[in-house]
Amino acid sequence: MPDVLLTHGYFLFEDEKERQIMKPYPTLGLLYLSAWLRRAGFDVEILDTTFARREDVYARLDAGPGVLGIYTNLMTRQPVLDLIARARAGGWTVVLGGPEAAGWPAEYLGYLGHGADVIVEGEGERTMAELLPALAERGPHRLHGLAGTVFRDEDGRIVHNPAREQIDDLDALPWPDRDRIDLQRYVDVWREHHGRGSVNLITARGCPYHCRWCSHAVFGFTHRRRSPRSCADELELIRDGWAPDQVWYADDVFTINHRWLFEYAAELERRGLHLPFETISRADRMMKEEVLETLAKMGCYRIWIGSESGSRRVLDAMERGVTPEQVQWACQAAHRHGIEVGMFLMWGYEGETLDDIEATIDHVKQSDPEVFLTTVAYPIKNTAYYQEVAGRVVTPRAWAAGSDRDHAIRGRHSRTYYKHADQWLRQEVEAYRLTGSDPVRSSELRDAAARSREALLAAAGEVEA
């Protein structure tokens, strides 16, 4: 039996939508954790659920108890709860980490009266390395003083230990244990479905910005970077080990530090290391031609920009710190350098009016992204947005059956309203794009957009629960 079995609750084949998207990546957090613990001398096994069936995972759990560590995020609550129940029934000690469990400690520790034993808040590496021997010596109910943990004492009371200090020097971290899972399968799935195999890596941890709806549960508001050399070394290892056609830098804001970006680009060039990639950033951290030029040279073929709204008023309410004009400039600059733009948009943030929706539609036309994804705002536990609307948050399902994504906000427009907003946006933008090339289709789409707008107005009286 290993000292710890690490797993997560993401089952790709169980989720119809995820199967359609078919862009799986392994959970880097677990791979980092494994690498750190193994270097410290622990025996670690990873049970990667992405391509697994539940029965196989249950069979592994039934094979004998030990310490089970589970990564949690807001999409995997139900499978994680099932894993906890199964593991506890089989005598496992269950430790949870990741952004979700930290937001709901009482629920995860108390689920059905036999929830998880310990929750690790924040970075997992150092906490877990202390926790494993502590569990062996003291058991799960006497962990007082073990920084970064939440647990139940012998009387069932929840004890929050002090926060764990973060790792200053990210270069001191061993690289993620990619060879302990079947990473090739991820690359192959990507290649089969999208023509290009892809691997994820991160060059930094944490984001110092304060967008009110964004979860900072793991890294707080810090920002720490790895050295360009270390990142380039890891990229070489990825290239040599799995030969992907591209990579995805899963950073929060890839272009946050321009000096680092230029140094990293120079390092890659010096080594002749050129792997196409996509990544995400903020428009205000892209406001230099040189940044886009550098990204293009490095192989960036698509940049995702968190645009959220075309209304300055709404962006200010979100404390986003970016203007629509900056986003438009960044999109145009990306296009000038042959980089595609992906855009994230959010409907229904506090205070959004019909004028703001119109502004967003206009903004998307001006920005002209190749792809844009929309979502209706949902307050994630422990964010500033959640605190602001907490009194109006309605959960349509029992906690164990839902997720933070289901959170409705009493008094806000209905989902139908936002569905019409979405159609209106898509039709209007497509009509605009086709104005010159296909005027007939463009005019049909404009009519459809007008009907969507009317449908939205008709639904304006309906509100969420």
Footprint on this chain of ligand B12 (rule: CB under 6 A):
10, 18, 25, 27-30, 32-33, 69-71, 73-75, 95-100, 103, 120, 123-125, 128, 200, 202, 214-215, 217-218, 250, 252, 375, 380
Cα–Cα distance for residue pair 135/373, rounded to 1 Å: 44
Residues 6+ positions from 28 with CB-CB distance below 8 Å:
176, 200, 201, 202, 250
Closest contact distance (angstroms) between CB of 319 and ligand SF4 is 9
**Least separation, in Å, of the C-beta of 38 and ligand SF4?**
29
Query: 168 and 214 in contact (C-beta within 8 Å)?
Result: no
Residue 369 binding result from ligand SF4, ligand B12, none, given CB thresholds of 5 to 8 Å by partner type: none
CB 50 within 8 A of CB 11: yes
Minimum CB distance to ligand B12, residue 336 (Å):
26
Nearer Cβ to ligand B12, position 30 or 334? 30
Question: Of these partners, ligand B12, ligand SF4, none, which one is at the site of residue 306 (CB under 5 to 8 Å by kind)?
Answer: ligand SF4
What is the distance between the alpha carbons of residues 357 and 402, in angstroms, rounded to a whole number? 28
**Nearer residue to ligand B12 within complex by CB, 135 or 357:** 135
Tokens read off for 166: 């973060």
Spell out the alpha helix ranges (H) of 243-311. 258-271, 289-298
32 binds, among ligand B12, ligand SF4, none (CB under 5 to 8 A by kind): ligand B12
Whether the CB-CB separation of 379 and 412 falls below 8 Å is answered with no
Q: How far is the CB of 121 from ligand SF4 (least distance, A)?
A: 18
Least separation in angstroms between CB 259 and ligand B12: 21
* Min separation Cβ 212 and ligand SF4, Å: 9
Rank residues 180 and 285 by Cβ distance to ligand SF4 and give the closer one.
285
Say if CB 273 and CB 239 are below 8 A apart: yes
DSSP characters for 61-130? HHT--SEEEEE--TT-HHHHHHHHHHHHHTT-EEEEESTTGGG-HHHHHHGGG---SEEE-S--HHHHHH
Q: Which does 99 bind (CB under 5 to 8 A by kind): ligand SF4, ligand B12, none?
A: ligand B12
| Least distance (Å) between residue 214 CB and ligand B12 | 5
Q: Which does 253 bind (CB under 5 to 8 A by kind): ligand B12, ligand SF4, none?
A: ligand SF4
Torsional sign, CA 295, 296, 302, 306 = positive
For the chain, give percent helix, strand, coil, nearest 5. Answer: 45, 15, 35
> Taking the mean position of all CA atoms in its chain, how far away is CA 433?
31
Cβ 207 to ligand SF4 shortest distance, Å: 3
Nearest residue (CB) to ligand SF4, 151 versus 385: 385
Nearest to ligand SF4 of 83, 315 (CB atom): 315
Give the separation between CA 261 and CA 227, rounded to whole angstroms.
10
CB nearer to ligand B12: give 100 or 284. Answer: 100
Which of the listed partners (ligand B12, ligand SF4, none) does 211 bind, with a CB threshold of 5 to 8 Å by partner kind? ligand SF4
CB of residue 161 to ligand SF4, shortest distance in Å: 26
**Quick one: what does residue 69 bind among ligand SF4, ligand B12, none, with the CB cut-off 5 to 8 Å set by partner type?**
ligand B12
Count of beta carbons in the 10 Å neighbourhood of residue 142:
15
d(CA 149, CA 94): 13
Task: Catalog residues that contact ligand SF4 under the rule CB under 6 A.
Answer: 207, 209, 211, 214, 252-253, 282, 306
Nearer to ligand SF4, 209 or 264 (CB): 209
Angle between helices 183-194 and 228-242 (to 10 degrees): 80
**Closer residue to ligand B12 in complex, CB, 67/445:** 67
Q: Rg of the chain's alpha carbons, rounded to an integer?
A: 23
Q: Pick what 389 binds: ligand SF4, ligand B12, none; C-beta below 5 to 8 Å, kind-dependent.
A: none
Instruction: Decide whether 250 or 393 has the Cβ nearer to ligand B12.
Output: 250
Q: Output phi, psi for 198, to 5 deg.
A: -135, 145
Q: Which does 218 bind (CB under 5 to 8 A by kind): ligand SF4, ligand B12, none?
A: ligand B12
